[in-house]
Structure 1
Amino acid sequence: MENKGTKPAIVLFPFPLQGHLNPMFQLANILFRRGFSVTVIHTQFNFPISWNCPDFRFVQITDALSENEASNPDVVELLHDLNSKCADPFADCLRDILSEESGASCVVVDALWYFTADVTAKIGISRIVLRTSNLCSFVPFAEFHVLREKGYLPLQESEAESPVPEFPSLRMKDLPWIETKDPRSLDKLLSSLSKALQSSSGIIFNTIEELEMDSLYQIHKKFPGVPIFCIGPFHRYVSASSSSLLTQDMTCVSWLDKQLPNSTIYVSLGSIASIDESEFLEIAWGLSNSDQPFLWMVRPGSVRGSEWIELLPKGFVESLEGRGKIVRWAPQLEVLGHGATGGFLTHCGWNSTLESICEGVPMICMPSFGDQNVNARYISDVWRIGLHLENKIERKEIEKSIRVLMASSEIRERMRKMKKTAEECLGQGGSSYCTLGNLIPHILSL
């Protein structure tokens, strides 16, 4: 794998969406600390505006996306476009890297880069896949074709509350689904992702075995012979480098410093999801009427028909009298780890969910699409560390949920125990500690 006296070399290829960039950069830091030299191949599209990785080598490839393609709201079409247009540039770049003296004998790719299965097979280099979702949401995705054949998907509203026979913890409305113009395109995407995983030299998950043992068993059955490595939570191994697509507003921290311990609700619906004007206003009034301090991250363009918060009623911000703060992008790890943060109103993306667990912050679930619905059900009904806004986004329900969450000692105690589990898995003898110990020699053996 390496010349005598040099570090073992590894190449990483992150997918250019915020929720995928962060865990890949965290994994890169973990591998670097374990003695690997790291080369990151990245696209022009959506590469972070800043990063702090002076020890990494970055190599850019062209993605040739047109302006319309890059701004396509149909996520499934965007994924296919990127996979199609990056195949040849990635292959050329990888060959150049391998021709160098230091070389590399393993590539870690985001699971959404399904084209890499064919490229790495032709070049003759091993490929390990990073899945940025957790296990319990991944299993229904892996069985997507079965769920479609049985008529569960797309969702029939009359069956929304019905249990899923194959997944007793879920209701039909929880099954992962991504809206797209052509459902066959989604079928093709998930089929391609599954085939790429089956031919991989291993799958890495940013999760904790103890939280998802049943799902881990199912994945071993689905992908026999493919090594599975659950080594999360990534961000707890090392100080994460910045891989943000937007500038973080650090005034959040100084504002939180002025709030009472466990008093503040942090609100973020993630880096992709969008809401309409009526939902935006219901959230605003729900937060205001709760009489609880809140820090609200409103991503520019996330409210349809609006640049930022101009749809708020005149005088709304002033009426809060400092009890609420609205920012464009927040340093989430710092916010969740702050002593003033006592609850998290979240879209339930896995990164956010895992970060909230690690900080012991109970959640209010407002999922949007994909794996978020599964995560929300586990948070509210299986792990019981949060509340689920089951129905239409409505101010009274938001206000009620905030009040209940902030007063619930039972939810807070269950979250405290889960936080302890997240801490123990990284300690000597813990599940993630041991699995990472197995991952390193596995990579070196490839």
Structure 2
Amino acid sequence: MAGKNIHAFLVSFPCQGHVNPLLRLGRRLAALGALVTFCTPEAAGVSIRKANSITDDGRPTPYGRGAIRFQFFDDGWDFDSPNRDDLPAYFSQIEVAGRVKLPQLIHKEAEAGRPISCLINSPFVTWVSDVAESFSIPNAVLWTLSCACFSAFYHYHNGLVPFPTEREPEMEVQLPHVPLLRHDELPANLHPHNTHVYIRDVILALFRNLSIPFCVLMDTFEELEGENIEYMSRILGRPIRTLGPLFKDLESELESKKESKALRADFFKAEDCIEWLDSKPPRSVVYISFGSVVHLQQEQVDEIANALAESEVAFLWVVRPPAREMNSKPHVLPGGFLDKVGDRGRIVQWSPQEEVLAHPSTACFMTHCGWNSTMEALASGVPVVAFPHWGDQVTNAKFMVDVFKVGVRMCKGGEAEGRVVPRDEVASLLEEVVRGPRAEEIRANALKWKKAAEAAVAEGGSSYMNMQCFVEEIARFNLVPN
């Protein structure tokens, strides 16, 4: 049994975009026989416990051939502290608290007869690598963006190619084995006009610590970014192991698909919308979601709503209240909107996205192009209307539209462009993807990537074999006694 006697301890930054892929990795490890402890600050634990049927009382939940348990730690701030609205300060606070709490947890696990075989962390908590090194525990990092973005940050950090500057803000960037990127197609955090400097610096901390992890894991697959993955592995001098799409279980390692769906760590409880989708014809519903962080201008919400109201398309739209730290007002739908659209429209605050994208009624996905959503769309064979806003989203949109050719783009980047896309343009783009002259070509490309993703996680596929190799690497460290 590949994962027997392995205790993998996973530490995530407390945001949905990091928790999801890391827990998916944990499910893979548990399916192969490992004991997995998933760890993140208690601030996220409150939401995770509320929205999912999990406990953190130390009892493992059986999963596949192994088990998963949850462990939440106190980050040192009260839940209602106004300091939580200051994200740069919160990054620092998690590190200060984590450097104290994680060693305590490591000792506690050893005393309980569960010594840790491997510490695995997501970006934004790169201090985990330092703690692992201090305990001589093998460390791996799960990069939660594309390999193209990894290359961009690596080359930026090491000064290997020119990037835009204050003096030349529109400089194009040529990375090895990556298509030429315009200044507005780079990960926005690397542009001199970036307003999220603290996020850039937190990400770059990972690249200062890259000598510690014995490998870099990625939620992508070789068929998608093969040449770049091979090149980056070579210049890193250590393997990049692609495991994606992580939201898809390795078919031969998990007998019950119900088991997979039951073990989640969503921050919000998904609303039941599958029965509504069941009532719609095949390829007739536009699914709209901009993730857990992006918050549109009210004017943009009005334009999308009016485009939907004036069209004949059915739609499922995730409209979430803004995160507290944004200090923004909740969106308000235009008066009479719900009456006008009737049963052809459904508004929810959170959806079971994997199931929605896999549903035969879903025709296309209007998305912010976060990497998790990008992988889920590609692996589900769903065409996209790309509406990126900041960060890696603008790069992902470039690849989705120009490289993978699975959709159309509403803009280069909502935050950078600073314009409201009018309703006529929104309606035209939806028409182009769902029923226009290029719709069949776009859908054929999307289905091609779906098949490639399925092949990657099938027995003997690239991600399947990389997962086996990763587990065998951990086992070879032989830190857990038989």
Taking structure 2 as the reference length, the TM-score comes to 0.84
Within a 5 Å distance, the mapping from 1:328-407 to structure 2 comes to 328-390=349-411, 392=419, 393-407=421-435
Write the distance in 2 (CA, Å) between the matches of 1:244 and 1:379: 26
Cα deviation per residue 1:95-146 (whole Å; 9 max; x = unaligned)?
A: 2213332312211111221111221111221111111112122211222346
| Alignment match of 2:310 (pick from 272, 289, 292) | 289
Structure 2 counterpart of 1:441: 472
Query: Contact conserved, 2:6 with 2:474, CA < 8 A, in 1?
Result: no
Paired AA for residue 115 in structure 1: W
Give 1:125's aligned residue: 137
What residue in structure 1 maps to residue 106 of structure 2?
94
CA distance in 1, matches of 2:212, 2:382: 38
What is the CA–CA distance in structure 2 between the aligned matches of 1:155 and 1:405, rounded to whole Å? Answer: 39
In 2: Cα distance, 1:6 partner to 1:263 partner: 46
Q: Distance in 2 between the 1:293 and 1:168 partners?
A: 36
| Amino acid across the alignment from 2:146 | N
Q: Does the 8 Å contact 1:136/1:215 carry over to 2? A: yes
**2:443 equivalent in structure 1:** 412
Q: Specify whether residues 154 and 264 from structure 1 end up closer, same or farther in structure 2 by C-alpha distance, changes over 3 A only.
A: farther
Match of 1:37 among 35, 38, 41: 35
Contact 2:308 2:427 in 1 (8 A): yes
- 1:249 counterpart residue number: 271
Deviates more, 1:143-152 or 1:127-136: 143-152
- Aligned counterparts of 1:163 and 1:358: Cα–Cα separation in 2: 30
Cα 1:187–1:21 change in 2 (3 A) is closer
* Candidates 208, 216, 221, aligned match of 1:208: 221
Query: What's the CA shift string for 1:245-284, capped at 9, x where partnerless?
Result: 011111x111111111100000000011112111221221
- Contact 2:11–2:38, Cα closer than 8 Å, also in 1: yes
Q: Is the contact between residue 283 and residue 398 of structure 1 (CA under 8 Å) also seen in structure 2?
A: yes
SS at match of 1:89: helix
- Give 2:452's aligned residue: 421
d(CA) in 2 for partners of 1:305, 1:317: 26
- 1:15-94 equivalence runs, <5 A: 15-47=13-45, 48=48, 49=50, 50-52=52-54, 54-55=61-62, 56-66=68-78, 67-72=81-86, 74=87, 76-94=88-106
Native 8 Å contact 1:207 1:232 kept in 2: yes
Asked whether the equivalents of residues 188 and 194 of structure 2 are also in contact (C-alpha less than 8 Å), the reply is no
Matches within 5 A, 1:218-237: 218-224=231-237, 226-237=238-249
SS of residue in 2 equivalent to 1:172: coil
Superposition RMSD in Å: 2.5
Local SS of the residue matching 2:184 = helix
Distance 1:7 1:305, change over 3 A: closer
**Contact 1:298/1:326 (8 A) holds in 2:** yes
- Give the structure 1 partner of residue 9 of structure 2: 11
- For 2:164 and 2:16, the matched residues in 1 are separated by 30
Note if contact 1:348-1:373 (Cα within 8 Å) is conserved in structure 2: yes
Query: Aligned residues: percent identity?
Result: 28
Once residues 44 and 155 of structure 1 are traced to their aligned partners in structure 2, the CA distance between those partners, rounded to angstroms, is 44
- The Cα of 1:152 is off from its aligned counterpart by 0.8
Whole-Å Cα distance in 1 between the matches of residues 37 and 386 of structure 2? 37
298-307 or 196-205: which moved more?
298-307
Distance 1:319 1:126 in 2: 58
Contact in 2 for aligned 1:349/1:371 (Cα 8 Å): yes
**Cα deviation digits, residues 18-75 of structure 1 (max 9, x gap):** 1111111111111111111122222112221324572322222110135223233x4x
| In structure 1, C-alpha distance between the alignment counterparts of 2:402 and 2:265, rounded to whole Å | 33
Q: Is the partner of 2:90 in helix, strand or coil?
A: helix
Separation in structure 1 between the aligned mates of residue 398 and residue 155 of structure 2, nearest angstrom: 18
1:173 matched to which residue of 2? 184
SS in 1 for 2:342: coil
**Who is 2:480 aligned against?**
none
- CA distance in structure 2 between the aligned counterparts of 1:382 and 1:295, rounded to whole angstroms: 27
Give the distance between the partners of 2:72 and 2:196, measured in 1 at CA.
31
Secondary structure in structure 1 of the residue aligned to 2:356: helix
Query: CA 1:181–1:210 in structure 2 vs 1: closer, same or farther (change >3 Å)?
Result: closer
Q: Which moved more, 1:412-421 or 1:108-117?
A: 108-117
Match of 1:277 in 2: 298
- The residue aligned with 1:315 is 336
Gaps of 5+ in 1: none
Question: Relative to 1, partners in 2 of residues 1:205 and 1:155: Cα closer, same or farther, differing over 3 Å?
Answer: farther
Q: Using a 3 Å threshold, how does the CA distance of structure 1 residues 187 and 404 change in structure 2: closer, same or farther? A: closer
TM superposition shift of 1:377 = 0.3
Q: Given the superposition, is the C-alpha separation of residues 404 and 188 from structure 1 closer, same or farther in structure 2, using an over 3 Å criterion? A: closer
Match of 2:415 in 1: none
Larger deviation, residues 146-155 vs 284-293: 146-155
- Write out per-residue CA displacement over residues 166-214 of structure 1, whole angstroms, 9 at most, x where no aligned residue: 353422101112487673x455323311122332111111111110012
AA aligned opposite 2:173: V
Deviations 1:221-241 (A, max 9, x none): 4421x2221111112115242
1:11 CA drift (Å): 1.3
Distance (whole Å) between structure 2 residues aligned to residue 104 and residue 440 of structure 1: 14
Letter of the 2:174 counterpart: P
Shift of 1:312: 2.0
C-alpha separation between the residues in 2 aligned to 1:322 and 1:70? 39
- How far apart in 2 are the matches of 1:69 and 1:144? 31
Question: Cα gap change, 1:180/1:262 in structure 2, threshold over 3 Å: closer, same or farther?
Answer: same
Quick one: distance in 1 between partners of 2:440 and 2:452? 19
- Aligned residues of 2:321 and 2:330 also touching (Cα < 8 A): yes
Cα gap change, 1:376/1:18 in structure 2, threshold over 3 Å: closer, same or farther?
Answer: same
Q: Tell me, what secondary structure is at the counterpart of 1:197?
A: coil
> How much does 1:286 deviate?
2.4
Inter-CA distance 188–416: structure 2 relative to 1 (3 Å threshold): closer
- Cα pair distance change 1:351/1:188, threshold 3 Å: closer
